[in-house]
Amino acid sequence: MVAGQNITVTWPSAFTYSGQVYSNVSMTYGASGTDTTATISNTTGSGQTFQAVWSGTTVLTINVPTSSWTTPIVATNKVIITIVSTPETNPSSAGSQTISLATSAGDTGTLAVPIVASSPSAVVAVSATVLPIITFSNDHNSVGFGNLSYTAATYANSGATGSTTDTTAHTLTIVTNAPSGYSLTYNGANPTSGSNHIPTANGTTTIASSASGTPGTEQFAISATAPTTGTIASGYANVGSSSDAWKFVPSAATALASSTGPAASDAIAMHYLANIAGSTPVGSYTTSITYIATGNF
């Protein structure tokens, strides 16, 4: 092609291209079809500036540069014309439509486009079901205090050796898609050795705003760190400071944590605290605590 020639693309009248403008057109060409990028304008120019003109709603004419065309389209080149499809309306009836192409140099060509009707044979219905999900895991099922002291608080750890500083003993993790979230409860007795308990009366221990409770006094309590989604029940929040709250209600299903919506992965770090008196009876004290997570579907 030489300066002053053009390329014309004509769609059948069943197509509508109302609202198309020159800036909706792009074009590349060359041996591979993408070697040279044309500059599309509403007027012709020199260099690589092509003019794109819409006639009516179905004819596009691309005029080549009028002078100083630095990279002409030659016979062996591929030409790729792209238009923005937003203003396009396809034919309403099914069938094959033919788009024609011509150049003022005498080249012609056609492109058949199938239009598929919206019918059962052309529509694919996709379905899927998400079942109720709740998983509950515990990374350690055995923790311990080691040797207790009447002069300082002791904290349980996963190695069962005990610690003089507050530490995570194990972590509970809850995953659920329950619309109303989950409820986590615990149920277990105070540590027992024969007929002896810590505390002695096997009663509730409540330690508010204290990192260590009261050394020299029999106490057994738990606390938990807040998960990403849910919240810890009042009296159990472990915040890693002197504002920690510790509590234990023996032998009764007791709320520990909950959420009001789905939880992708709520990790709850569990902490255990024990204090004894100088008169606490000698013995090996043990207990088992059951944690239950329930999805609120």
Read off the pLDDT of residues 225-250 as tens digits, 9 standing for 90 and up: 999 999 999 999 999 999 999 999 99
pLDDT for 71 beyond 90: no
Instruction: Show me where the domains of the chain are located.
Output: 6-115, 134-295
pLDDT one-digit tens code per residue, 189-203: 999 999 999 998 889
What angle (nearest 5°) sits at the alpha carbon of residue 72, between those of residues 71 and 78?
A: 100
Contact, 60 vs 25, CB < 8 A?
yes
**pTM to 2 decimal places:** 0.62
Q: What angle do CA 41, 43, 47 make, to 5 degrees?
A: 70
Q: 2.60.40, 2.115.10, 1.10.10, 1.20.120: which CATH number matches 134-295?
A: 2.60.40
Residues 49 and 62: beta-carbon distance below 8 Å = no
Give the integer Cα–Cα distance in Å for 111 and 117.
19
pLDDT tens, 31-44?
Answer: 999 999 999 998 87
Alpha carbon separation from 237 to 31, 65, 189 (Å, rounded): 71, 76, 20
Residue 134 β-bridge partners: 176
